[in-house]
Structure 1
């Protein structure tokens, strides 16, 4: 009988210890997720995927997503600052926002927000037309170093991830980034048309933008900005070709400034649970997103490193002082 009582007490003690961890993800009431961009884009898709998984897996209910477009996410960022202390609000963001803060001379930056987690990412590929004389990065770099202004690269908007990658590559191979010939386009379709039409020597974008043309044999992927070879992508890394650069167009999530330690822990617990769920793994596979999950203090440190690196390359390119 005495032994049974001890077992009951031990069981109750363990239950009480486990209860706070279990309750953390349930403490968030009426969660709202801001997508600081128009509906349909990457941040919007990420926000709505988080919403679906959190709700369907019973981690947090209800969850609302709303859009605040404009200025590379910095309009939404300003609104996040105005929601100081709100423990039921998250905002999706990423590398693009770090660049936009610099190039738009935003009055608010990421110094005051509460970092929660890095979620997903997409590595960039460098492509050339199938008929190009450049068979690999060594060929492309040799021509580029011989005449930096003559070898044009197409990509997305000035200061964006594509532009940053070309700047990092230039610096890595000893070319002054200010002398590189980067041709920005507002959409992936225009970039694709430029490289297929031989208007530029090469183009840079996320692998998904070029996948169909690479598989059809119309484009050749000469490099990918991943730290190691990626399954299902037939492209050698830049690093393996002596261009010591890796870069992911990552997406993450942050909370307003001034939330309590308990509120931050509850949000991170919810995201950790989401990341571990089968529903999230299925979402990553369906959308072909690379899992780059990093939460809590690790994401805090990563964010600071990315801000420093982004500021440096945008200065090298000449887009910020």
Structure 2
């Protein structure tokens, strides 16, 4: 089924109340967003909170933003402060895995409890409209001449846009260690840096840049997807001759110390939320692809992602 048909089907079911899902309803649910406001994790966390309430799975939701170290700071606080809490969730995803690989912090994701993968998307690279560079080819030529002169703006070190930049460097014969990557604690900070011309090029999910692309303040020059994003005239890296393809995904974890029954209840709540009208609207608004995965399948997916990202980063000279 095509993505647009899938979304319409979910919306129709949500509107009629015909979704065959039941779940324990929490009172006040707490969502840890391990990034500063304005980015993909923040948007995802707040969209999920709204969907949980819309679905009747939670009566109220509070949020705690704690940015830094690719989510490791928020993860540490979540693991230590929310242990055993059956009404707490933390947003995470591929960016956190990459950051944990490069940063090697004392806290481990395995200390928390996997709940669900929610969405997937690909990175779009953009230039500020005032940039003298117009295409990815221009960026590559500048990168070859002087790697340090090209400032790449994006999420924390180890983020998928950082990995993509390293992959591109390797593709064009530039030492990935010379990449001048400028990490930010949240999408809002990265966007401000791009708009202000404080970085040469920026990368993130399309949804974070959409309003600036549509208003002409940013110029999209490439996407790390296997094919062009539907309805958008943005060439893929492979189209441009660079073998760079990497996806981003986001999900949620629960704290350590909860029981199997509590884990199942949280999983049921999240799955119920992803079938709500509010969540369907968020998918459409942000251009997210639904990618719900739970239970053992999600556990195994995260393990594979760790191995895959570690291999890509080693090959690209990042570790």
State TM-score, norm by structure 2: 0.74
The partner residue of 1:149 within 147, 164, 184 is: 147
Kindly indicate whether residue 127 of structure 2 is the aligned counterpart of residue 124 of structure 1: no
Deviation at 1:242, TM superposition (A): 3.6
1:30-69 Cα distance to aligned partner (Å, 9 max, x none)? 53322234455543332232222222222x1334323151
Corresponding residue number in structure 2 for 1:275: 274
Q: After superposition, where does 1:168-187 map in structure 2 within 5 Å?
A: 168-182=167-181, 187=190
With CA pairs under 8 Å and 6+ residues apart, which has the higher RCO, 1 or 2? 2
Corresponding residue number in structure 2 for 1:244: 243
Relative to structure 1, is the Cα distance of residues 150 and 56 closer, same or farther in structure 2, using a 3 angstrom cutoff?
closer
Q: In structure 2, how many angstroms separate the alpha carbons of the residues matched to 1:219 and 1:70?
A: 25
Relative to structure 1, is the Cα distance of residues 75 and 205 closer, same or farther in structure 2, using a 3 angstrom cutoff?
closer
Relative to structure 1, is the Cα distance of residues 122 and 280 closer, same or farther in structure 2, using a 3 angstrom cutoff?
same
Relative to structure 1, is the Cα distance of residues 127 and 46 closer, same or farther in structure 2, using a 3 angstrom cutoff?
closer
CA contact (8 A) 1:178 1:316 kept: no
Q: More deviation in 84-93 or 149-158?
A: 149-158
Corresponding residue number in structure 1 for 2:289: 291
The partner residue of 1:188 within 191, 195, 213 is: 191
Q: In structure 2, how many angstroms separate the alpha carbons of the residues matched to 1:70 and 1:137?
A: 30
Q: In structure 1, how many angstroms separate the alpha carbons of the residues matched to 2:147 and 2:97?
A: 27
Relative to structure 1, is the Cα distance of residues 277 and 251 closer, same or farther in structure 2, using a 3 angstrom cutoff?
same
Structure 1 SS opposite 2:165:
helix
How many positions carry a matched residue from both structures? 292
CA contact (8 A) 1:148 1:181 kept: no
Aligned-residue RMSD, C-alpha: 3.5
Q: In structure 1, how many angstroms separate the alpha carbons of the residues matched to 2:113 and 2:103?
A: 22
1:186-227 Cα distance to aligned partner (Å, 9 max, x none)? 5322223328xxx84x44343345445544666543311123
Corresponding residue number in structure 2 for 1:69: 66
Relative to structure 1, is the Cα distance of residues 140 and 65 closer, same or farther in structure 2, using a 3 angstrom cutoff?
same
The list of structure 1 runs, each at least 4 consecutive aligned residues, that deviate by more than 6 angstroms after superposition, is: 129-135, 316-319
Relative to structure 1, is the Cα distance of residues 109 and 156 closer, same or farther in structure 2, using a 3 angstrom cutoff?
same
Deviation at 1:174, TM superposition (A): 4.6
Which entry has the higher C-alpha Rg, 1 or 2?
1
